[in-house]
Amino acid sequence: MKSFLEQHFDDFPGPVQLANVGKIKHHVLVNQGFRQTIRFIRPFNSADSISDIKKAYFNKKLSGARRVVENYFGIMTSRFRVYTKPIYAGPERVKNIILATMILHNLLVQAVGGEEVARRY
């Protein structure tokens, strides 16, 4: 994954407008195994975060955001087997697979309720 993302750095979508913020580039939340770049956001090392409260706060928020993404991926993987192995398809097809599974997930939540979905998965 690391080498793929680094090789396809220029394939990221362009910046998008966020209300009251301005244009924002897409980012990937990564761990210490990646180098820090404009697109890859990784935590500060522990020595820096111990001595600087702002860096410690950033690491806490970054860790929380990564945890949300990892939990969501775990939920989607438990529901849709397509996520249990690499998807060998072009970008447009992968995008359609992701969108389709997200829509199916949302329909499931609407049909049986969020609490029931959480209990099952």
Q: Which two tokens stand for residue 38?
A: 């404009």
The residue ranges of every structural domain in the chain are: 1-57, 72-121
Question: pLDDT, tens digit, for every residue of 55-65?
Answer: 999 999 999 99
CB 27 within 8 A of CB 41: yes
Dihedral sign of CA atoms 69, 75, 81, 82 in order: negative
48, pLDDT greater than 70: yes
CB 108 within 8 A of CB 117: yes
Task: Identify the pLDDT of residue 17.
Answer: 92
H helix intervals, 1-121: 2-7, 46-51, 53-79, 91-112, 114-120
Of residues 120 and 89, more confidence is placed in: 89
- The answer to whether the pTM exceeds 0.75 is no
Confidence of residue 121 (pLDDT cuts 50, 70, 90): low
Beta bridge partners of 77: none
In this structure, of 28-42, 43-57, 68-82, 100-114, the range with the lowest mean pLDDT score is: 28-42
